[in-house]
Each structure stands twice: as structure tokens, then as C-alpha cells.
Structure 1
Amino acid sequence: MEYTITLFSPLVEHAIELASEWHDRTYRKGRWRDPSYPVPTEEALRVPVMAHLTAVAIIVKGAGWDDETVAAAFLHDIIEDGNRFREYFRYESLVSLVGSPVADLVREVSEDKLDDDGIPRRWKDRKIGYIDRLSSASDRAHAISLADKIHNLWSINETMSSGINVFENGPDRKALSANPSEQLWFYESVLEATRTGKDERLVPMRMRLEEEIQRFREFV
């Protein structure tokens, strides 16, 4: 199946705006780069979640995927993560805004963070469910998942290479939710789950994730 890649996509532009609104004033667990400008000592400069979403979408676009996949990459956390008001975005609402193809891709790569009673699920249970879903997901969903994990693990590796322990809380940063062995299990499991995908564009993405997994092993 062929997909059209356009110079400018109103769909992708809408996805960017929607992601920016939903994730407004939400942040990554921490940062490893020095601030780009002087920051008052009583203030903390945090990395907006939108920076991660953009990096993931750029990876997907760079690998040659179509506009629907790029739009879904920008939106890949919108169902999974609540906004700053602790609200959760409904799949049906996403369909009405960007259409079923994009919403379906987002759902394919979303973890179920809450159980049927709205109680947060354990980290390992969430990840097992995610991997099971990914094993039978579409190639386009594999592309988004790989891009997401490439950027997340690259960020972890860069943080550790700067001398920061990502497994401990620190000033203006939260520790990762699982220990090194659990993190390694998860990233290796995602890599294996995506091997069911047949699209040749997935090959360099898998190779890039493999490189980051090897870097992570050397750190831990």
C-alpha cells in the first residue's frame, strides 16, 4: 500500500496544535542540557512534553512515513497521558477531530495506564499490555513506537552520560518508574515485538533502537 507525502499537511498542522494544547504545561521527567539562557536560582527550567512529541514525529517523517503517521506521532501520548487538569482525552473525541485512521494509530501505541475503575495500573502490567498489543499492531504503529523508544532511550543515555543518575530523584527531576533491569527488558521487548513488521522502513529504525539499547547496557 502506498501513502502520499505532501509538502504541507493541514492534518499534521492540526495535530501539532492539538498536541500543544493538550500537553500545555506538562513536562519531561528531567533535563540534561544546561539552560540556553540565564534562569533565576529560584526557578526551574523544565523540558516541555511537546519537545519529545516533536522529536518522535521528526524521526517518523525522516524514515519516510506518510502524513497520517506523522500526525499520530505528534499525538501518540494524547490518550495515554492526562493533561495538567488531570483529564483524559477520549478516543471518540480524537476521531471527531483528526479522523479514524490517525486516532486508530494513536490507540495502537497507547498504554492503558488506568484500570476499569480508574485506578493506576502497575508499571509492569502496563508494559506487558503495551507489548502484547504492539505484537499484532500495524507497521505504521510500529514506526511510531520505535521512534518513541529511540528518543526516550537516547534521552536516558544522554542524561546518564552527563553524570546524572536517572534512577534517583534529584533537583527538578523525577526518577524513572522502573529499575535498570526492568527498563532493559521493556526496550528489548518493544524491539522484538516490532520484528513482526514487514515494511522495509522499519529496518533502520530497529537498528537505531538496537544501538541505544547497547549504549544503555554499557551504562547499567
Structure 2
Amino acid sequence: MLKEKAKSFATKAHQGQTRKNSDEAYITHPIRVAQRLEQEGGSDSLVCAAYLHDVVEDTPVTIDDIHHEFGKEIAQLVAAHTEDKSKTWKERKQHTIYCIQHAPKEVKYLIIADKLDNLIELEKEYKLLGETIWANFNAGYEQQKWYNQSIVKYMYSGLDKSEIPSYFYDYEQVVSRVFSSVQP
């Protein structure tokens, strides 16, 4: 089964990596993103891309490797979500904001599922660690606020109401909570 292969591939690629503000194994994040997309009825390709969405950014795996192992469609979904680490934080985030405005719906689904999981975890970590969490990011509170609020502003672009998954609304609510009540 392709989804199990993607999960296994990502688990191996992320082996030894942990989440930014905890000692939790990194793979728990892609697994949660994939589970959310599967629960929302996402295609097998989208679920596979969710498992694999960070391997190109965070491991030696390349888009060509993904293409070879999983085919063109999954590689394209992963590539659309992969940031170019040679660019500045602001340039990378501007690209994601542009992408969220203009990308096909499956790319949007992947990006928002990823951002939602990251922000839910950030909210939990803030409750435990307080303001020190911002020191672990390339950009502080104000920049993170701008970025997440920009994603919310544009994530519905080009989607019919029937195409909007419930977790888009969840993301909007978490952004509102984190960046109105959590202030350094």
C-alpha cells in the first residue's frame, strides 16, 4: 500500500529528528498531518504527500527521490509545499502566501493541514514554556503573526464553499487564539 510506504519512507528519513520545542520524534508531525487529510477524505496521493511533506526540506532526500519512489503526482504535491532554504525566511513565507492564493486545492489542503498542526503544537508549547518558544524560530512573534494571518486571509481564494474542509476554520480559530492572546 502506497500510504504505508510513504509513512515508512518518511519515518526513516526523519529518524533521529525531534520537534522544535520538545523531544517528541519529528515524524509525529507528518503522521498527524496525514491522518487529518485522510479523515477529511483526501486522496491517497495527498495523504502520501502529507507523510513526505518535510523530507526534502529537512533531510538529504530530494524531489527526484520522491518522484522515483512515489511518482509524479506525489512529487509535485511535495515540491509545491517545499520551501527553498537558500532564500530568506521572509522570501520563503511570501512564496507560501502566494502559493496559498493561487495553488490547486490539494496543495492548499496540504499547506493548511501542516500549518494547523504546527500552530496547535505551538499553542500547547507556549502554555508550557511561555515566551521562550519564540527564540527557537527564525522569526519572532510579530513575523509569525503576520505570516499566519496572511495565510488565513488568502486560504479560501479560489475555493467553492463545498471545497473548504472543516480544518480550515479550525486553523483560522487557532491563529486568532495564538496571535491575540499569546503576546510576548
**Normalised TM-score (structure 1):** 0.77
Q: Residue 6 of structure 1 corresponds to which residue in structure 2?
A: none
In the TM superposition, residue 135 of structure 1 has moved relative to its aligned partner by 2.1
Q: Structure 1 unaligned segments of length 5 or more: list them.
A: 1-9, 32-45, 115-120, 169-174
Segments ≥4 residues shifted beyond 3 Å: none
Using a 3 Å threshold, how does the CA distance of structure 1 residues 161 and 132 change in structure 2: closer, same or farther?
Answer: same
Q: Distance in 1 between matches of 2:35 and 2:158?
A: 20
Q: 1:185 aligns with which of 132, 140, 146?
A: 146
Distance 1:92 1:122 in 2: 24
Match of 2:171 in 1: 209
How far the C-alpha of 1:201 sits from its partner, in A, is 4.5
Find the counterpart in structure 2 of residue 167 from structure 1.
Answer: 134
Q: Residue type matched to 1:198 in 2? A: L
Alignment partner, residue 95 of structure 1: 67
Structure with the higher fraction of residues in helix conformation: 2
Match for 1:69 among 46, 55, 61? 46
Q: Is the 2:40–2:165 contact (alpha carbons within 8 Å) kept by the matching residues of 1?
A: no
**1:192 offset after TM fit, Å?**
2.6
Once the 2 structures are TM-superposed, how far is the Cα of residue 197 of structure 1 from its aligned partner? 4.1
Deviations 1:54-81 (A, max 9, x none): 1111111121211111110011111222
Q: Does 1:106 align with 2:78?
A: yes
Residue number in structure 2 paired with 1:13: 4
Distance 2:105 2:20 in 1: 29
Larger Rg: 1
- Which residue is equivalent to 2:33? 56
Letter of the 1:192 counterpart? K
Instruction: Structure 2: state its 5+ residue gaps.
Output: none
Contact 1:109 1:134 in 2 (8 A): no
Residue identity over aligned pairs, in percent, reads 26
